[in-house]
A and B are shown apart, each in its own frame.
Chain A
Amino acid sequence: MNEEKVSCKEVMSHICESLSEEMDSPKCVAIKDHIENCEGCKSYFSSVEMTIDLYKKCTETLPEDVHKKLMAFLELTDEK
């Protein structure tokens, strides 16, 4: 999992894949052209991107005590 900003190409690929289209298909090219020229869609597009990004950032690190409880629950020794 990487937390870097995704490129437009990746996002396009994501959108076209969701539509079952190849990147260079007429529909995919038409969508790309539309997004480039439509403020509403551009805004919608970037907000979906941001939603994914926000969700990725809200991660949870495993606390040490939870790790210890897991090992005890599984009856495993915690050797380093």
Chain B
Amino acid sequence: MNEEQLIASAKNGDKKALAELVKKYEQTVYSFAFKVCRDREKAENMMQETFYSMIKSLHQFDGNSKLSTWLYRIVVNHCLMEARKSSRYTFVEQETDESLFDEKYIADWSTLPIKNLETKELRNILDAAIEKLQPEYRVVFTLRDVEEYSTEETAKMLELSVPAVKSRLHRARSFLRNEITKAFQE
């Protein structure tokens, strides 16, 4: 069965078709949730909630978008709700462009020991940086730069304007880059 047939069967209560759809997208959803919340347990919960919501609302899926896009919308909402519970963010929207694009951060990365770093250390640095970034910026960065959705698609998924997506992306990139630079300069 192709995806369209699987969706039609799942809508008619075919549990085998539903299981196939879950299996097809579980890695994508888990991976996205992990990239946004950087925590295995939270990613697992987000994934469970996402597929639970998918099963409950599949009858509303009209096929105008891809199922994967629809699932991203669901997982984004769950991730944003979860991430907002934490208040440890230091990067706020009021942060000025002058502080984000300060020349002191224009260090030459070719001299930083990034390539010699063990995966675990690198993960710790990334986790610390992501932890400080507001969830609204995390999801834009992940959808746009990691999952490679277009600006328009990202805007649609997040119900944001295209300029808002561009601005958040630009600031999120600079913030993460600066945090990594600081971690190496300390």
Contacts and interface: CB of A to CB of B under 8 A. Distances in A.
Contacts of A17: 151, 166
Contacts of B147: 1
Interface residues of A, number: 35
B24 interface: no
Interface residues of B, number: 48
A70 B108 contact: no
Interface in B103-131: 103, 105-110, 114, 119, 122-123, 126
Contacts of B110: 43, 46
Contacts of B109: 43, 46-47, 50
B48 interface: yes
A78 interface: yes
A69 B103 CA distance: 49
B173 interface: yes
Contact of B26 (A41, A54, A59, A67): A67
A50 B114 contact: yes
B22 A20 contact: no
A76 B35 contact: no
Interface in A41-65: 41, 43-44, 46-48, 50-52, 54-56, 58-62
Interface hub of A18, A71, A77 (most chain B Cβ within 10 A): A18
A33 interface: no
29 contacts: A18-B166, A19-B166, A40-B106, A41-B106, A43-B110, A46-B109, A50-B109, A51-B173, A51-B177, A52-B145, A52-B146, A52-B173, A54-B180, A55-B35, A55-B126, A55-B141, A55-B146, A60-B30, A60-B34, A60-B40, A62-B31, A66-B30, A69-B48, A70-B44, A70-B47, A73-B48, A74-B51, A77-B15, A77-B19
